Structures are given as C-alpha cells and as structure tokens.
Amino acid sequence: MVLIIDLSVVFIAFFLAYLLRFNFVMGSVSLSKAGSQAFLTLGVYTLFMILFQSYSGLIRHTTIKDIYRIFLATTSAVLALIILSLAGREFSWKNVFIIPISILIIHYVVITVMLSFIRIIIKAVFESFKVSQNGKKNTLIFGAGILGVAVKRIIESDHFSGFKITGFIDDNRKLRGKTVNQHPIWSSVMLDRKFVKDKDIKTVILAINNFPKDRKAFIIKKAISLDLEVLEVPSADSWLQGKFSVRQLQRVKPEDLLGRDPIVMNTEKIMNGLYGKTILITGAAGSIGSEIVRQLARFSVIHLVLVDQAETPSFFLNNELEKEFSDLLFTSVIADVTNYIMMENVFKEFRPEIVFHAAAYKHVSMMEDNPREAIRVNAGGTKTVADLAIRYGVEKFIMISSDKAVNPANIMGASKRLCELYVHSLSSGKNITTKFVTTRFGNVLGSNGSVIPIFKRQIEKGGPVTVTHPEITRFFMTIPEACQLVLEAAFMGQGGEIFIFDMGNPVKIYDLAKQMISLSGFIPDEEIKIEVTGLRPGEKLYEELLSNMEQTIETYHPKIMIAHNGKDEDGDMGTRIGSLLEELYLLPTEEVIRKLKELVPEYKSENKAKLKEVVSSEE
C-alpha cells in the first residue's frame, strides 16, 4: 500500500513539475508528451524504490534511516533519468526519452520533500493520538550510549510497553548535563531517595554492554535500596532474529549481586592436562558434576565417562551434550558409586586417566536425619572410587568437598571431612602414583537445593520467604565460577593439597531474601513477608573455609589457596572407615555418630537430641 501511494505521488508530482517549469501556463504543456514521460519516470522510480525498499518501514515509526532510503531511491532514479535523457538527445531517440533536465530536477526536489513530509506528518498525527502515558512507570535508562538510546527508541515506539522514559543515568562525565531527544542525562550520584521521589521513578533499565561486574552489583543494590524495579537488556545473541523488543527485558539475576569479575583460567595448563584423556566424572548429572562436564567438553578430551545413579537428570544431560557438543565422545553409566563391583567394571572397561569425584549427598537437614546414608554414600562412595583409582592407575583424582567440612557441626559436613581425611591419607601412601587433590568451596548459586531456587519458588507462590535466622550468613559462588576453579586447581595440584577458593565476602541470607523479593518486583515484608523459622538441626550461623588448625598457602592464582595444617593424616584411616562401613547398619544411631566423632575429632554436633544420645552412651 505504501509503495502504491508513493508511486501515485511520483506520477502526480511529474505533472506538477511541468506546471512549475512553465509557470502554470497550460498551453505550454503537451499533455500527451508529459503523460508518456510521466509513465517512463514512474517506471524508473518504481525500479529504485523496490531496489532500496524505501516503502518497507512502518510510517508511524519513521526514523532518519527511512528518510535516507527515500533519498537514495529518488537520487538514484533522477540520475538514471538524466543519463537516459542525455542519451536520448545524443542518439535522437523518441521524445518520450528526452525529458528536460529542469523538469527532472524540479520533480526530484518535489518528490523527495513530499515523500519525507508525508511520513513525518503521519508519524506526528499518530503520536498525537497514541495511547495515554497515564499508568506507565517512570523509567530511567542506565547507559546513554548506543544501546541505551536504542532501548529508549524501542520502548517509546511500543505504546503498550508500560514504561515512560524520564531520562538517562550515565557514569560518563562528558555526557552529564546533555540531553537525548529532550531526555536529560544525570549522574548516578543523583540517584537517591529524594531524586526518586521527586521524579516518581519506579524502574531502572540497565543498558550497557560489558558492564563491569562490581559496578553493576553496586547499581543494582542501590536501586533495590530505593525500592526500584531493576531490569536489564539481554545480551545481543539472545535477541529474536537479531532485533531487540520490549518483551525481552529481563529481571537481573541474583548472581549479579555478587559483583565479581569473571575468572581468568590458565587454559593452556588445563588443555595440556586434559588433552587426549579419558575422564570419569561421578555425580555427573548433578549441579556441580554437570557443569564440570560442560567445562570439560570444551577441551580436547578423548572420552568422558559420566556416572550417576539418577536416571532422569542423566537423560537430560545426554540430550544437552548431543545438541551442544555433537563431536564429543561420551558414555553415560547409571551406577551407584558405593557399589564396588559395579564401579570396578566401569574402571576396567573405560580405564580413566583422570577422575572428578562429585557424587555425594549434600542436604544438611536430610543427612542429619539419615546419618548412615550420609556416611555410606559420602565416605563409602569416596573410598570405593579412590581405591579403584589407585588399583587402575588413575593419574589424578579430584574430590569435590564443601565448606561444611570445616569444623563440622552436622552429619553431612562430618562425612565430607571424613572424605577429605581419607583422600589426604592416600596421597602420602607409599607406592601410590595417583595424585589426590581436594577442592573445597561454599554454596553455589542455583544448585539443586540451594536457597536461590527455594526463594524463587516461594516468591512465585506469594510467600512467605523462609529464613532460618536473621543473622545467618553464607559464602556464595556461581556454578560456572566454582567449576572453573575446580579445573584450575586440578591441574595446579601435585597431590595431597586441599584447595580452597576465594568466595568473596559472606552474604547475609536475610538480605539476600529481601533483595530477591525486590528483584521480583515486590516490596519485602509488605507484599511478600519474610518468615524466620529458626536454625535447623546441624545448621551453622556462619560457614568457614578453614579449620582452627589450618593455614593458607598462596598459589599463582589469586582466587585459589592451599589449606595446610602441618600434619599427615592417619595412615590407618582406610581400615577404620572400612570397619565403620561394615557395621553401619548393625550399630545403633548413637554408636554410629560416636564412631564418626572418633574419626573426625573436630565434629561438634549441634543436634542436641543426638548429642545427648552420644554423651549418654560414652558415659
């Protein structure tokens, strides 16, 4: 329709050009000659309008690019007609080809102005009748660069977006005090409670490419403290068909609150360690195990053997690997790491050279109620896989531990500490060529059972969000961060080390709950309540990465340190663990816990009922 209208204007404007040229003296114009030349002109303009798609833009959203396309089409058409007219004179063609140059110039000016003017008028009329701004949220765009301006234009062109752009915030001093289409640019220093109240700001949209992590975290926390909704523009690779739309604005993620820069890995060292290897990953379908698999898949490994007893998560991991890493050779094995015969078959068949042991029970409250299973799977599984690693000549064994193993106050932490002690005792054994490395870190954001997905589900249901204690704190790290450091430490270690990771500053869980409620667009304690439920059995107020007896040794990587207590572990640890495993389901619960305390002297149970049982039995 736009093309037909444009061509109609071209045709009519040609006669207008003739009249202008001859001062509106009708007798001076030959209608038959002008008519035939008008059709020729129409044909040439049609060709170039189609070529430059000058009619393709939505008129109500006309931009300078649309005007530029009109200019290209009309300029190219008039140049073609001038050349045609000059050739007609030179070669004495028919009069239809010999159009006066003055007519062509007048027509070109008229048509270019008219087509541009029509679009501007239609856009202005549409703007005057557009949907009312009432009810829309006053919005600031953080970032007045190319992306920020593009976001402003897209939001304003979508009259049902729900946002009304009030202005920009930018850290660039050169931009402060300037405007973008009458929208002022302010400094982030201006963003305080008085400013927000005066401007009635409700939303902040982050629109900066390569936003520094620490700066982004600071802005998010500042906006949350002012009760503002915080949205961000997703990365360009997630835009639909390379174009951004308002509905793609997304809420910032909880991990953005950590504000840590990406980890730089020594890829050459890791690549050399992995090249051409067969690698076994236990607990491969879990949160940590599956991310280790994804990280390993990017290197030149010859074969990944993925062991997990969970069938459904393994199925989904298989599908992901087949889709994302089609050239990767991998085998999934449904197996229980505590089953020695089954695991020996795995080692015998695949002969892994490197083992990442991530299989474990990790839910504190569940393990507190099921101490035998915690010991059977965590300690027994580690002993099985580690013993087989020695028997089948594995080059390196990397065990994934937890900060809950430090001065453990619960069964889960004590069982993981027992794993650490056993693996460390093997590293100092005679005639053992396998290098045993332990990695220890805190909570990972988004892992199965972590507070983030729990809080998300509670918020989606309208609350309450449950926190066990207002002062409880935890260290946090994203799953990719943790697994990148695991790989780095794996090929840094020479055997016997316990590597601990720089987890940043501890995060108060109560504050995290408030921030997540705010990020979800609700007001904490008003629209969604926070409920304090009390510490669960075995739960500590504060987690630690080092025991009282341990010190740290720096490594070449600023985020990785070695925990060292200056003594070797009990060489008879394997026999003692084996004895406990044999009696595990023959002894009463209090006796199992007493034996665990003997193996892990620093274990101080906070489960008063169980502790009472143990004390009574000892008396």
pLDDT band at 618; cut points 50, 70, 90? very low
Number of Cβ within a 10 Å radius of residue 91: 8
Record the tokens describing residue 382, joined without a space.
């580690």
Helix ranges, 53-100 (H): 64-90
Number of Cβ within a 10 Å radius of residue 541: 13
- From the list 353, 341, 342, the residue with the least C-alpha distance to 308 is 342
pLDDT at position 398:
93
Question: Using CA atoms, how far apart are residues 292 and 313, in angstroms rounded to an integer?
Answer: 15
Q: What is the pLDDT of residues 138-153, one digit of tens each?
A: 899 898 888 888 888 8
Cβ neighbors of 94 (< 8 A, separation 6 or more) are: 88
Length of the chain: 619
**Whether the Cβ atoms of residue 216 and residue 259 lie closer than 8 Å to each other:** yes
Question: Of the given ranges (113-117, 261-265, 273-277), which has the lowest mean pLDDT?
Answer: 261-265
- From the list 170, 166, 164, the residue with the least C-alpha distance to 195 is 166
Q: Is the pLDDT of residue 241 over 60?
A: no
Determine how β-strand 560-564 pairs with β-strand 551-554. Answer: antiparallel
137-252 against 267-444+477-504+545-582: fold identical: yes
pLDDT band at 419; cut points 50, 70, 90? very high
- From the list 410, 388, 376, the residue with the least C-alpha distance to 535 is 410
> Torsions phi, psi of 496, nearest 5?
95, -5
Question: Using CA atoms, how far apart are residues 306 and 284, in angstroms rounded to an integer?
Answer: 5
Q: Residue for token digits 């020729």?
A: 40
Q: Is the pLDDT of residue 259 over 60?
A: yes
> Torsions phi, psi of 614, nearest 5?
-65, -45
Q: Is the pLDDT of residue 614 over 50?
A: no
Record the tokens describing residue 307, joined without a space.
């062991």
Record the tokens describing residue 437, joined without a space.
């490395």
pLDDT band at 616; cut points 50, 70, 90? very low
pLDDT at position 236:
63
Question: Of the given ranges (249-263, 361-375, 526-540), which has the lowest mean pLDDT?
Answer: 249-263
- From the list 378, 402, 382, the residue with the least C-alpha distance to 390 is 382
Question: Using CA atoms, how far apart are residues 217 and 256, in angstroms rounded to an integer?
Answer: 6
C-alpha torsion 600→606→607→611, nearest 10: 60
- From the list 522, 459, 525, the residue with the least C-alpha distance to 227 is 522
Across 504-531, average pLDDT: 83
Report the SS3 class of residue 245: coil
pLDDT at position 411:
93
Record the tokens describing residue 92, joined without a space.
């004495």
Question: Using CA atoms, how far apart are residues 34 and 99, in angstroms rounded to an integer?
Answer: 9
Determine how β-strand 183-186 pairs with β-strand 179-180. Answer: antiparallel
Give the DSSP letter of residue 265: P
pLDDT at position 611:
45
pLDDT at position 26:
66
Q: What is the pLDDT of residues 169-218, one digit of tens each?
A: 888 888 888 888 788 898 888 888 899 888 888 888 888 877 787 888 88
Determine how β-strand 330-334 pairs with β-strand 354-357. Answer: unpaired
Across 7-14, average pLDDT: 88
Q: Is the pLDDT of residue 607 over 80?
A: no
Q: Does domain 267-444+477-504+545-582 have CATH number 3.30.420.140?
A: no
Question: Of the given ranges (82-96, 146-160, 278-292), which has the lowest mean pLDDT?
Answer: 146-160
Q: What is the pLDDT of residues 451-464, one digit of tens each?
A: 777 888 888 888 89
Q: Is the dihedral of CA 141, 144, 148, 154 positive or negative?
A: positive
Across 252-260, average pLDDT: 72
Q: Is the pLDDT of residue 481 over 80?
A: no
Q: Which helix (H) or strand (E) holds 564?
A: strand 560-564
Q: Domain extents for the chain?
A: 2-128, 137-252, 267-444+477-504+545-582
Q: 402 or 547, which is more confident?
A: 402
Quick one: fold of 137-252?
Rossmann fold (3.40.50)
Q: 44 or 60, which is more confident?
A: 44
Question: Using CA atoms, how far apart are residues 379 and 497, in angstroms rounded to an integer?
Answer: 18
Question: Using CA atoms, how far apart are residues 439 and 401, in angstroms rounded to an integer?
Answer: 6
Q: Is the pLDDT of residue 245 over 90?
A: no
Q: 247 or 509, which is more confident?
A: 509
Record the tokens describing residue 599, joined without a space.
């193996």
**Amino acid at position 335, single letter:** A
**Whether the Cβ atoms of residue 359 and residue 401 lie closer than 8 Å to each other:** no
Q: Residue for token digits 């004179």?
A: 89
Q: Is the pLDDT of residue 130 over 60?
A: no
Question: Of the given ranges (17-21, 325-329, 478-482, 611-615), which has the lowest mean pLDDT?
Answer: 611-615
pLDDT at position 556:
67
Q: Is the pLDDT of residue 44 over 50?
A: yes
Q: Residue for token digits 């078959």?
A: 345
Distance of CA 320 to the CA centre of its chain: 17
- DSSP class per residue in 587-612: S-HHHHHHHHHHHSTT-----HHHHH
> Torsions phi, psi of 554, nearest 5?
-70, 155
**Whether the Cβ atoms of residue 509 and residue 467 lie closer than 8 Å to each other:** yes
Separation in Å, CA 396 to CA 266, 428, 494, 529, 578: 18, 14, 9, 49, 23
Across 473-481, average pLDDT: 76
257 burial via Cβ count (<10 Å: 0-12, 13-18, 19+): buried
> Assign residue 324 a region: left if phi > 0, alpha if psi is -120 to 50, beta otherwise?
alpha
pTM of structure: 0.66
Q: 441 or 260, which is more confident?
A: 441
Mean pLDDT of the chain: 83
- DSSP class per residue in 291-310: HHHHHHHTS--SEEEEEES-
Convert 112-147 into a string of H (helix), E (strand) and C (coil): HHHHHHHHHHHHHHHHHCCCCCCCCEEEEEECCCHH
Cβ neighbors of 327 (< 8 A, separation 6 or more) are: none
